[in-house]
Amino acid sequence: MAEKLLDIQNLTKYFSTKKGLLHAVDNISFHIDKGETLGLVGESGCGKSTTGRLLIRLLEADRGQILYNGDDVLKYTSRQIKEARREMQIVFQDPYSSLNPRLTVFELIAEPLYVNRVYKTKSEKEARIKELMDTVGLAQRLITTYPHELDGGRRQRIGVARALALKPEFIVLDEPVSALDVCIQAQILNLLKNLQRELGLTYLFISHNLSVVKHVSDRIAVMYLGKIVEVADYKSIFVNPVHPYSQALLPRYRWPSWMVSGSGLFWKGISLVRSIRHRVAAFTDDAFTGRKSVLSRRRSCCRLAKTAMRPATLAINET
Ligand SMILES: Nc1ncnc2c1ncn2[C@@H]1O[C@H](COP(=O)(O)OP(=O)(O)OP(=O)(O)O)[C@@H](O)[C@H]1O
């Protein structure tokens, strides 16, 4: 049986707002096993980020228990919290705003090492920074560049390197790819998966993008209005969601399992035929829609231009 890294019981966080008390996280209980990725999904404002921040004590909980390797994180002293932060890290959603624009890549990755006074000598620190850059796939030549000179994927790699700097065991990934282009998303997701395999990391992966969560998670927790309404392995959630909110969130997957793969292939086939037809239609007159092709439109433009030119030419000749 898998060993629990985190066991969360009745975790609660309320915010005082102008409209009254907001139940951002409302009495939730779940666990995260060592080495697994638990996906946390739900619509915007349901309390996902607040949950992530509570787990690593970036926010103070109002009530509940967070057992980390059997110890209650909520009872830690400030010194114990500082030590625990080495083992529990977070990667934020927006690599554009989460990095200090005045620091170079070297300084950004060095920051957690300096703050926590991990390495004694300068050369040890430099070696660790270079090692971290290799680990996350950042070229050494980028060491003196600033975040604004880099694309979103590279900035997020800096965020991952900063999170890894203190050799953590558990990382909260708070929408780590939502601010990135689709192809860069895939690179960062693969990086995170490889790092998990190599370093034995445990992730809480927060996202509202279901296909991303499906790609990376071992189990998925569905959150709705501050409560966790369902936790199950990813196949059960996608093929046979039990809670009505999970069903609403995953409408496409309410088909029987044997139909999911079949219908997927069918729609892929249809979209392939459509894209081929559109490409062909761009160069030939489209018999289906009656639309003129690019070539036909160009020919008629030339014809129009010639007719328009004729009287003017005649007029010049006559004078
Ligand atoms: N510091 C705060 N003060 C008051 N309300 C807050 C605070 N932080 C979050 N909230 C509110 O708590 C609720 C949950 O916010 P949270 O950021 O956890 O949601 P989320 O599911 O992560 O949403 P998103 O995907 O948009 O980030 C929201 O209604 C939010 O407005």
Which ligand 1 atom is nearest residue 17's CA?
4
Q: How many domains does the chain fold into? A: 2
Looking at the structure, do residues 214 and 271 belong to the same domain, yes or no?
no
Q: How large a percentage of the chain has pLDDT more than 90?
A: 54
What's 77's DSSP letter? Answer: -
- CATH number of the structural domain spanning residue 25: 3.40.50.300
Q: Whose CA is nearest to atom 11 of ligand 1?
A: 24
Last residue of a domain, one of 254, 280, 310: 254
Whether 65 has a pLDDT exceeding 90, the answer reads yes
What pLDDT score was predicted for residue 302?
A: 56
Q: Is the ipTM of this complex over 0.85?
A: yes
Q: In whole angstroms, give the CA distance from residue 12 to residue 23.
A: 8
Q: In whole angstroms, give the CA distance from residue 249 to residue 241.
A: 9
Looking at the structure, do residues 33 and 117 belong to the same domain, yes or no?
yes
Whether 181 has a pLDDT exceeding 90, the answer reads no
- For range 286-292, the mean pLDDT: 47
Residue 117 to residues 82, 92, 100, 111, Cα–Cα distance (Å): 12, 23, 20, 10
- For range 294-309, the mean pLDDT: 55
Q: Do the Cβ atoms of 109 and 161 come closer than 8 Å?
A: yes
Looking at the structure, do residues 60 and 114 belong to the same domain, yes or no?
yes
Q: Whose CA is nearest to atom 28 of ligand 1?
A: 45
Q: Do the Cβ atoms of 208 and 239 come closer than 8 Å?
A: no
Residue from 242, 198, 199 nearest 220 by CA: 242
pLDDT band at 319 (very low <50, low <70, confident <90, very high): very low
Q: In whole angstroms, give the CA distance from residue 172 to residue 4.
A: 16
Looking at the structure, do residues 136 and 214 belong to the same domain, yes or no?
yes
**Gap from CA of 226 to ligand 1 centroid (Å):** 10
pLDDT band at 317 (very low <50, low <70, confident <90, very high): very low
What pLDDT score was predicted for residue 292?
A: 53
**Gap from CA of 175 to ligand 1 centroid (Å):** 14
Q: Whose CA is nearest to atom 29 of ligand 1?
A: 45
Looking at the structure, do residues 146 and 37 belong to the same domain, yes or no?
yes
Looking at the structure, do residues 223 and 106 belong to the same domain, yes or no?
yes
Query: How do residues 158-180 score in pLDDT, each as one tens digit?
Result: 999 999 999 999 999 999 998 88
Looking at the structure, do residues 266 and 242 belong to the same domain, yes or no?
no
Full residue range of the structural domain in which residue 307 is found: 260-318
Q: What is the pTM of this model?
A: 0.77
Collect all residues with Cβ–Cβ distance below 8 Å to 111 and sequence separation of at least 6: 103, 162
Looking at the structure, do residues 136 and 267 belong to the same domain, yes or no?
no
Whether 117 has a pLDDT exceeding 90, the answer reads no
Looking at the structure, do residues 84 and 159 belong to the same domain, yes or no?
yes
Looking at the structure, do residues 85 and 28 belong to the same domain, yes or no?
yes
Pocket lining for ligand 1, CB < 6 angstroms: 15, 17, 22, 24, 42, 44-50, 208
Looking at the structure, do residues 240 and 106 belong to the same domain, yes or no?
yes
Residue whose CB lies within 8 A of the most ligand 1 atoms, among 41, 46, 56, for a mutation test: 46
Q: In whole angstroms, give the CA distance from residue 83 to residue 91.
A: 18
**Gap from CA of 28 to ligand 1 centroid (Å):** 16
Last residue of a domain, one of 236, 254, 272: 254
Residue whose CB lies within 8 A of the most ligand 1 atoms, among 12, 49, 207, for a mutation test: 49
Q: Are strands 37-41 and 219-224 parallel, antiparallel or unpaired?
A: parallel
Last residue of a domain, one of 234, 254, 274: 254
Query: How do residues 14-54 score in pLDDT, each as one tens digit?
Result: 999 998 999 999 999 999 999 999 999 998 899 999 999 99
Looking at the structure, do residues 123 and 270 belong to the same domain, yes or no?
no
What pLDDT score was predicted for residue 289?
A: 44
pLDDT band at 84 (very low <50, low <70, confident <90, very high): confident
Quote the mean pLDDT of the chain: 83
**Gap from CA of 59 to ligand 1 centroid (Å):** 12
